[in-house]
């Protein structure tokens, strides 16, 4: 089969098209004919840096998200059959029992607990855009905290890979959503996704945002997808006893503003089931819920219009790292 391997750690130049043996599914696994995969920031990070989730050995097949068709199932798999269209998490990371090959290949063996049936109303490209970003947003808004129609929710990076589906999910739950964006184009996208208003922390202070959008009370929930100064601002804008959730927690921050409000800080790392082998069935269940929302028209991915083939994987990585993506970058396989 054709596959793209990272020959070693480094720039996008280390990604090379090659031939690899077609894998065979083991117990609890499914062999999938990959139809599309998407590029996430974590895919570029593990290619460059030795992180806890970076594959232990190179060459390595990277690529987290996928959508495709089941070709065969391994012993013990009863939820899926050959010819089922599925989507979910492949790998591209270090697992508890060795590296899990990713989705940049014609075929991939995946854990049956980390996938679900593809939403029936979207194509493989759209489905491949969803697993990491939408599951992260779901975990932040419905596992770590509980939002209701009475909740005032602020989402930073509201037009980004995780922020965009988060706006849609919070809106679908009936919450009043304010999105932090940095351009007119991003604000338009966030409003389309369901934000009631957009703000820019570069031109508006945290206190002004609190006064204008919460009557000075602070937000019930803030989901930070940006980190850095945005997370520090979140500590200023959360209400007393409120909840801040972040996906960018590997940094130093002054927690005094949270402490003085009795507020809570939650971390979300969607790769925990892959890295440690815990809660994998729950991740598949979240994918099933996301698929239902997609079929109900409540969740739609934002996809960059440029198309990439498997041999163009390095170009897709370069575009994401340059900050030029206008939505998820999809690689057709």
Phi, psi of 193, deg, nearest 5: -75, -15
Q: Where among 233, 267, 301 does a domain terminate? A: 267
User: Is residue 263 in some structural domain?
Assistant: yes
User: Where residue 250 falls among pLDDT bands split at 50, 70, 90?
Assistant: confident
Number of H helices, E strands in the chain: 11, 17
User: Where residue 279 falls among pLDDT bands split at 50, 70, 90?
Assistant: very high
* 284 shares a domain with 243: no
Query: Does residue 128 contact residue 141 with C-beta atoms inside 8 Å?
Result: no
The DSSP bridge partners found for residue 69 are 33, 85
CATH code, 162: 3.40.50.720
- Per-chain mean pLDDT for the chain: 97
Query: Is residue 251's pLDDT more than 90?
Result: no
Phi, psi of 214, deg, nearest 5: -135, 15
CA gap 151, 262 in Å, rounded: 18
User: Where residue 234 falls among pLDDT bands split at 50, 70, 90?
Assistant: very high
User: Is residue 107 in some structural domain?
Assistant: yes
Burial class (CB in 10 A: 0-12, 13-18, 19+), 46: buried
Give 113-124 pLDDT, tens digit per residue: 999 999 999 999
- Non-local CB neighbours of 88 within 8 Å, separated by 6+ positions: 65, 66, 110, 114, 115, 116, 131, 283, 284, 287
Rounded percentage of the chain residues whose pLDDT exceeds 70: 100
Q: In degrees to the nearest 10, what's the CA dihedral of 219, 223, 229, 232?
A: 50
* 292 shares a domain with 261: no
* 25 shares a domain with 77: yes
* 78 shares a domain with 15: yes
Closest C-alpha to 34, from 118, 96, 136: 118
- What does the DSSP assignment read for 100-131? E--SSBSEEEEEGGGEEEPPTTS-HHHHHTSH
Mean local confidence (pLDDT), 201-220: 97
The pLDDT of residue 95: 97
* 283 shares a domain with 261: no
Give 137-171 pLDDT, tens digit per residue: 999 999 999 899 999 999 999 999 999 999 999 99
CATH code, 20: 3.90.180.10
The DSSP bridge partners found for residue 65 are 89
* 26 shares a domain with 127: yes
Query: Is residue 102's pLDDT more than 90?
Result: yes
Q: Where among 227, 245, 267 does a domain terminate? A: 267
Give 36-58 pLDDT, tens digit per residue: 999 999 999 999 999 999 999 99
User: Is residue 139 in some structural domain?
Assistant: no
Query: Does residue 67 contact residue 127 with C-beta atoms inside 8 Å?
Result: yes
CA gap 177, 297 in Å, rounded: 18
For 289-322, b/e burial (b = at least 16 CB within 10 A) is bbbebbeeeebbbbbbeeebebebbbbbbbbbbe
User: Is residue 138 in some structural domain?
Assistant: no
User: Is residue 140 in some structural domain?
Assistant: no
User: Is residue 160 in some structural domain?
Assistant: yes
Q: Where among 267, 294, 323 does a domain terminate? A: 267
Q: Which domain holds residue 242?
A: 145-267
User: Is residue 314 in some structural domain?
Assistant: yes
Closest C-alpha to 327, from 138, 188, 141, 195: 188
Three-class HEC string of 214-262: HCCCCEEEEEECCCCHHHHHHHHHEEEEEEEEECCCCCCCCCHHHHCCC
CA gap 262, 258 in Å, rounded: 6
User: Where residue 327 falls among pLDDT bands split at 50, 70, 90?
Assistant: very high
Query: Is residue 249's pLDDT more than 90?
Result: no
Mean local confidence (pLDDT), 311-326: 97
User: Is residue 295 in some structural domain?
Assistant: yes
**What are the Cα distances from residue 86, in Å, to 99, 118, 123?**
22, 4, 11
Other C-beta atoms closer than 10 Å to the C-beta of 211 total: 12
Please tell me the total count of domains within the chain: 2
User: Where residue 316 falls among pLDDT bands split at 50, 70, 90?
Assistant: very high
* 162 shares a domain with 260: yes
- Non-local CB neighbours of 201 within 8 Å, separated by 6+ positions: 156, 180, 209, 229, 230, 233
User: Where residue 222 falls among pLDDT bands split at 50, 70, 90?
Assistant: very high
* 308 shares a domain with 193: no
* 289 shares a domain with 263: no
């Amino acid at each position: 089969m054709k596959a793209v391997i990272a020959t070693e750690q480094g720039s996008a130049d280390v990604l090379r098209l090659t031939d690899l043996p077609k894998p065979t599914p083991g117990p609890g696994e499914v062999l999938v004919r990959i139809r599309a995969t998407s590029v996430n920031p974590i895919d570029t990070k593990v290619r460059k840096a030795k992180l806890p989730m970076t594959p232990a050995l190179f060459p390595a097949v990277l690529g987290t998200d996928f959508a495709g068709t089941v070709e065969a199932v391994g012993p013990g798999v009863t939820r899926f059959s050959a010819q089922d269209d599925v989507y979910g998490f492949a790998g591209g990371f270090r697992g508890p029992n060795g590296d899990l090959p990713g989705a940049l290949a014609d075929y991939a063996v995946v854990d049956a607990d980390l996938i679900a049936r593809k939403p029936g109303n979207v194509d493989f490209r759209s489905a491949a855009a969803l697993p990491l970003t939408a599951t992260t947003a779901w975990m932040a808004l419905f596992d770590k905290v509980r939002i209701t129609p009475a909740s005032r929710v602020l989402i930073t990076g509201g037009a980004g890979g995780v922020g965009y589906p988060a706006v849609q999910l919070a809106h679908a739950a009936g919450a009043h959503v304010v999105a932090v964006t940095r351009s007119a184009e991003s604000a338009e996208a966030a409003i389309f996704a369901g934000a009631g208003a957009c703000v820019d922390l570069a031109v508006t202070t945290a206190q002004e945002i609190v006064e204008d959008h919460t009557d000075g009370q602070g937000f019930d929930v803030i989901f930070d997808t940006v980190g850095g100064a945005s997370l520090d601002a979140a500590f200023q804008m959360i209400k007393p006893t409120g909840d801040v959730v972040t996906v960018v927690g590997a940094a130093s921050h002054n927690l005094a503003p949270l402490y003085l409000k009795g507020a809570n800080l939650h971390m979300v790392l969607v790769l925990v089931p892959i890295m440690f082998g815990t809660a994998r069935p729950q991740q598949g269940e979240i994918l099933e819920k996301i698929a239902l929302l997609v079929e109900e028209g409540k969740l739609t991915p934002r996809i960059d219009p440029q198309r990439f083939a498997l041999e163009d994987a390095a170009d897709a990585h370069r575009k994401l790292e340059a900050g030029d993506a206008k939505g998820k970058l999809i690689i057709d396989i």
